[in-house]
Every structure is written in C-alpha cells, then in structure tokens.
Amino acid sequence: MERLMQYVWQHRLLETTDMVTVDGRKVTVIDPGRLNTDAGPDFFNAKIKLGEAMWAGDIEIHVRASDWHRHRHDGDRAYDSVVLHVVDRDDTAVRRHNGEIIPQMVMKCEPEFHIRYHELVDRADIDLPCAEEIKTLDSLRLTDWLTSLAYERIYSKAAHIEELLARYTGDWEQTCYVILARALGFSTNSEPMERLAMSLPLHFLRKHSDSQLTMEALFFGQGGFLDNAPKTDPYVEELIREHKFFAHKFSLRPLQPLGWKMARMRPHNFPHRRIALLAQLVTSDFRLVRKITSTESIDSLRELFRQPLTGYWACHFTFGPGSERNFDTLSRNSADILIINVAIPLLMAYGNMHGDEEMTRRAVEWLQELPPESNSIVTLFSNAGIGCKDAFTSQALIQLRRRYCEERKCLYCRLGHSLLARHARRR
C-alpha cells in the first residue's frame, strides 16, 4: 500500500482539488522530490506550497498517520526536514522531535484505483491481467514503449557479453563460443549447453580441431551421452575410444548431471544434433566474431548457422539406427533465433566497445528486418490486440513479459502506468 502511495505522489496522480492539509491549507506540488530507496524520508528535496507559503524539504508517506510514532520518527532528527506527511488515514497528529506539528495531508484516490492495482499485481491466476484494457491505449504510447523495451533488451544482452568478455580476458571468440553454445540449446537445453562449452575452452579445442571425430568425442563424452549410447554402434565405439584417450591424457571427467531434456521434443531439436553442429563449427576454423562483424546481410548469417552436417549426424537424430536421407541442420526459424540471440547482441557489444556506430545501427536494422519470433509470449500479446511485425517487436514483447509482467512490475511499466492513472484521480 505504501509503495502504491509513493507511486501516486511521484507521478502526481492526485486531483489538485483533493490536495489539502487536514487543517485546510491548499497543497501545490512544485517538485515531488527524489524517491529515496534507503533509510530516511521517502522523498528528498521536494518543493511544495502550503497555502501561499513555499516549503522546501522532504516528504514522508504512511498508510496510517500513527505509523510515524510506530516507526519512531518523532525522535529521529533525520525526519525534522519533513515538510509534509502524506497519509491514507489521519488517525493522529505528528510532530518533530522538538514538538513542532508537521503539516499532514490525506491522499484521496478513487477506490477503484486500489482495486485495479491489486487486480494487476496480485492476480497470479491470470497470465495478462491488463489484456482487456491494453488494446484501448494510445498507439503512439504503445509504440514508444515497445521501442524502449527492444533497446532495453538488446543492451542487456550486449552487457552480458561484455561481462563474459571481461571473464575471458578480452577473448571475443571464446565469448562468442559460449553464447553460441547456450543459444544452440534454445530454451530447453540452454543451461547444459553453456556448461558443456565452459568445460571445454575454445583454446583447448583448437589444438585438436583438425579432427571432427575428436571434437564430437570431446563434446559427447563431456556431455555424458556416451555412457548410455549403444556400444554396438561402430561410430559410438570410435567416440568412446577417442574420448577415453583424451580423458586420460587431460584428466577430463564428464559433467554430471547436466539435466539434458528430450521429452516431448521433436527429433530435429534433440541436443545431439545441436552438439554435432557446435563441434562442426569448431572444427571448421571457429572465427565467428570476424565472420559476424564482417557480414553485410542476414542471408549470409543464415548460411553460416545452417551449414549442413556431414558424416554420421547428417542422417541421425540420436545414437542408433539412422535414416536413408539427410536432414537439415537447422530450420530457417531456428537460424533466425541464433541471429537474434548471438549475432545481433555481439554486433551491439562489439560496436559499443569499439565506438562503431555503423555496426550498432546494423544490429538494430537486422532486428527490424527479421520476421517475428513464434512463441507463447508473442501469441499472448497478439490475443490481447498487440500485433508483432518483426523481431524488433517480438524482442520488446519478450522483455515486457519477463521483466515487467512476470515480476508484476506494473508500476514501472508505461502501459501499467497509463492504465492505473485512469483510475487514480477522483471523479
């Protein structure tokens, strides 16, 4: 409740006619002050008028006026600077430590405002509590917020890359290798794919990258796939023999448990083929950063990520019997997801760190050129009347869902703010 009252004060959502102290003086807000997230009054350095008198100081907000005494502010000199006490219930007068009465105002909000707030924040049984109203918002406001969210997401991904880069002492290719491995796991196996890549550093793999069999043996062995693989399969026998040699030589131990998921998954999406693709990319001279930063078209990137698998994995989804025909490594949509989650954030991070504005511009333009992602989040907002024309918008919707909706940060969402503001002022 108190946080909600702070929100109303900060954004000036009260009718001016309702802003009157309990002793009848009109309150005019010149500056609501700066919200304080630490100890002390709720808002610093506010400027208000009480009647005709100008006051500069702090603002304290409580549900009950008596909370002032309950929190022992009356004996705390840090609260002597409070020039207005804003409350929901005026159940007592409050004083400074010297006995001086502090002006007090009752915050008068429409009852529906509180109801609507709790409907948005507390309804865990509804995926999108604002779905019925969101389509009524001004389209310009919606577009502006989605644009901000898209940039928020891409910069967040770029910041993560920069953190990894610092961890790997400026090694761009190792950083790219890790984020690529995670992206190849897509949402289901992203964590185990990332852990697998971290256990086999790129500089170690490069020493043995002349053999694709060695790469595959290292990845499948470290991933724990060889323990239950059919020993009658000649290819598996080769992998086991190769992994045993390197495990003994370099004291390698399979990562356990990694928690690979395959249930209710299409065979094309099995982790075996993703690992095989990662092994092939490492074998074929892994200089992905150079290739991404020098590429001028999305089609070229798609070709990079969709290179066909050779050998055993050209016709296998997992260990065991194969097929008579070859399968595509990745679908066009899957390749686009890799572009969104690997190439574009890397371009943004690389451009930022090297002061290359053309590169950062290209990253944004690619997002706007790519088709929207097809997932439950895009569908959820589509059903609520928010269309999605490109990946720039779908990334914005993902950011909105994960960073605001799921965390019920409606007070910090521009859409939530607009919807709540409708109900804040008394009619």
Burial class (CB in 10 A: 0-12, 13-18, 19+), 166: exposed
pLDDT along the chain (427 residues), means of 10: 88 86 95 92 95 95 94 89 94 89 89 79 82 88 95 97 97 97 94 96 91 95 93 95 93 86 88 94 87 92 91 92 84 96 97 96 96 96 94 98 91 87 64
Burial class (CB in 10 A: 0-12, 13-18, 19+), 76: middle
* Separation of alpha carbons 57 and 44, rounded Å: 7
HSE value, Cβ hemisphere, 13 Å, CA-based, for 373: 24
* Separation of alpha carbons 65 and 92, rounded Å: 6
- pTM value? 0.83
What's residue 37's pLDDT?
Answer: 85
Q: Please state the domain extents for the chain.
A: 2-108, 148-369
Task: List 62's β-bridge partners, or say none.
Answer: 87
* Separation of alpha carbons 8 and 2, rounded Å: 10
What's residue 189's pLDDT?
Answer: 95
What's residue 426's pLDDT?
Answer: 53
Angle at 102 (CA atoms; ends 98, 103), nearest 5 degrees: 165
What's residue 329's pLDDT?
Answer: 85
- DSSP-assigned letters across all residues of 270-328: -HHHHHHHHHHHHHTT--HHHHHHH---HHHHHHHHTPPP-GGGGS-SSSS---SS---
